[in-house]
Amino acid sequence: MAIIGGGITGLTAAFRLQQQGISAVLFEATDRVGGVIQTVREGGYLAECGPNTILETSPLIGELITALGLEDHRIDTNESAENRYIVRNKHPVKLPSSPLGFMASPLFSCRAKARLLAEPFIRRAPADEEESLAKFVRRRIGREFLDYAINPFVAGVYAGAPENLSTREAFPKLHALEQRYGSLILGQILGARERKRSGSVSKQNAPKFSFDQGLETLTTALGQQLKEQIRTCQAINKVVQQNNAWSLDQAGEYSAVLLALPAFRLVELQLTCDSNPVSLSELADIQYSPVASVVLGFRREDVEHPLDGFGALNPQVEQLNSLGTIFSSSLFPGRAPLGQVLLTSYVGGLRAPHLVTKTPDELCDLVMEDLNRVLGVSGEPTYRHVFVHRRAIPQYDVGFGRFKTFMNELEQNVSGLFFAGHCRDGVSLVDSIVSGHNAADRIAGHLHQTCQNE
């Protein structure tokens, strides 16, 4: 069979198929596999161009690491990195981690705290009503939590806007908590028992980890396992099904095909099934947020903040240039030379998409303004690396369900055609890994059934 797309989803799917004795040829348009997962090592610094950590919310993650023999290269986040900061009045305020800490925290006003106590008594929305995340949060816990908890969190996950994102599609577990328990607070307490039984872990409590040489260790290991099956620098533009076989441009015929591509690449495919053209143009309406990753190194003495945490998120109401900053050298050892620190900031998103068009020097200057005001950074950076993703993260906006339905129905109605990836199954790194794994299992089932019918 064939897999189109050599990001983490396509790599995971190919490896999972290999484990089941099924050979898959993987086609990647660029000269490397791994997609946005890319690690740069320069002068003692280690910078991530894409994701910085993996959240171990599924047991599939540990199984993959073990299967690839990467256990000795795995590194968990430092204990001190559990602190998270939200900027308020241009100062980083530690996000409370307990009910008592919440009541004492200056992050939220007394009025907002009192409003939260009423949350269990708020009536649930009708099950068939699709709300934006902003409307959902205002209704259940109030405006202040939207501004200083949800808005910065959404910037960190989607680089998106709560006013546009669908609660049901972008945060399905949040929607499910209200529908099942009638309360987010009660749902968090009671839902913990179900997660324990299923072996899953909430994102809040999930272990975060990387590798001693960065996240590209994972995609490199997958690439090495699959090297005989990978075809780089080979873009596929035409996919044709005829007599239960799939032909890909001039790249041969296959029993099935998995499309593990972003939506903006899917719409460029010429797809024909049994002589009938199939348009994927509907997926062109999936919006992507642009993001620039600005990685800066500094002498430790030039940073006032203790950097004792994961990072700091910037609410939109604070009117800063960046979305937030990860304390990269506090998360893992070996990210900066001795006596230096490494900070990774993100600019743009739907909050300020125009900023990603600026030059690397201009982006660094914008980030330096924020770091000076929020973290007390002075002096010139000792390291700089800027990476721009023009179309970084798909937005699961209100109405996004129609895109998932469209892909699901095509997969059900066209024998041997499969979809996977962040424009269908979730935007996190873990979501993409699980998506590839599950797609491989669907493909294996299809191929087994096909053999039985012959």
What CATH number has the domain bearing residue 194?
1.10.3110.10
DSSP symbol at 78: P
Domain around 139:
109-198
Tell me: do 342 and 300 sit in the same domain: yes
Q: What is the pTM of this model?
A: 0.94
Over the stretch 13-27, which tens digit does the pLDDT of each residue have?
Answer: 999 999 999 999 999
Tell me if 277 is assigned to some domain.
yes
**What region, left, alpha or beta, does residue 156 occupy, with left being phi > 0 and alpha being psi -120 to 50 degrees?**
alpha
> CA-CA distance, 15 to 229, in Å (whole number)?
10
Number of domains comprising the chain? 3
pLDDT at 203: 62
Taking all residues of the chain, what is their mean pLDDT, rounded to a whole number? 94
Examine residue 428 and state whether it is found in any structural domain, yes or no: yes
Reading the block at residue 367, the tokens are 């980030």
Residue 36 · residue 49 · CB < 8 Å: yes
Q: Tell me if 96 is assigned to some domain.
A: no
Residues 271 and 293 in one domain: no
User: And the tokens for 431?
Assistant: 């979501």
User: Could you say which residues of the chain have pLDDT below 50?
Assistant: none
Q: Is residue 47 part of a domain?
A: no
Contacts of 368 (CB under 8 A, 6+ apart): 296, 377, 381
**Same-domain pairing of 155 and 189:** yes
Give pLDDT, residue 230.
97
Tokens of 323: 């979305």
Q: Are residues 385 and 290 in the same domain?
A: yes
User: Which among 198, 216, 247 is the end of a domain?
Assistant: 198
Which two structure tokens, joined as six digits, stand for 404?
Answer: 């998932």
| Residue 140 belongs to a domain | yes
What is the distance between the terminal CA atoms of the chain, rounded to a whole angstrom? 17
Same domain, 386 and 297: yes
Q: List the structure tokens of 450.
A: 């096909």
Residues 368 and 302 in one domain: yes
Q: What are the structure tokens assigned to 135, written together?
A: 């409307």
**pLDDT of amino acid 452:** 74
Domain boundary among 335, 370, 390: 390
299 shares a domain with 378: yes
- In the sheet with 91-94, reading across from the earlier edge strand, the strands are 91-94, 84-88, 311-313, 322-326, 340-348, 288-299, 383-394
Q: Are residues 270 and 412 in the same domain?
A: yes
Q: Are residues 320 and 171 part of one domain?
A: no
Residue 443 lies in a domain: yes
Q: Residue written as tokens 């109405």?
A: 399
* pLDDT for 250: 77
Whole-number Cα distances in Å, 78 to 65, 93, 283, 303: 20, 20, 40, 19
Residue 166 lies in a domain: yes
- In this structure, what CATH number is given to the domain that contains residue 14? 3.50.50.60
- Asked, for residue 75, whether it belongs to a domain, the answer is no
What would the DSSP string read from start to end of 394-425?
A: E--BTTTHHHHHHHHHHHHHSTTEEE-STTTS
Same domain, 420 and 275: yes
The helix (H) or strand (E) run that includes residue 10 is: helix 8-19
Q: Are 108 and 143 in contact (CB under 8 A)?
A: no
pLDDT in tens, 247-289: 998 788 999 999 999 999 999 999 999 889 999 999 999 999 9
C-alpha span between 15 and 428 (Å, rounded) = 19
Q: Are residues 423 and 364 in the same domain?
A: no
According to the model, what pLDDT value does residue 25 have? Answer: 97
Do residue 123 and residue 266 come from a single domain? no
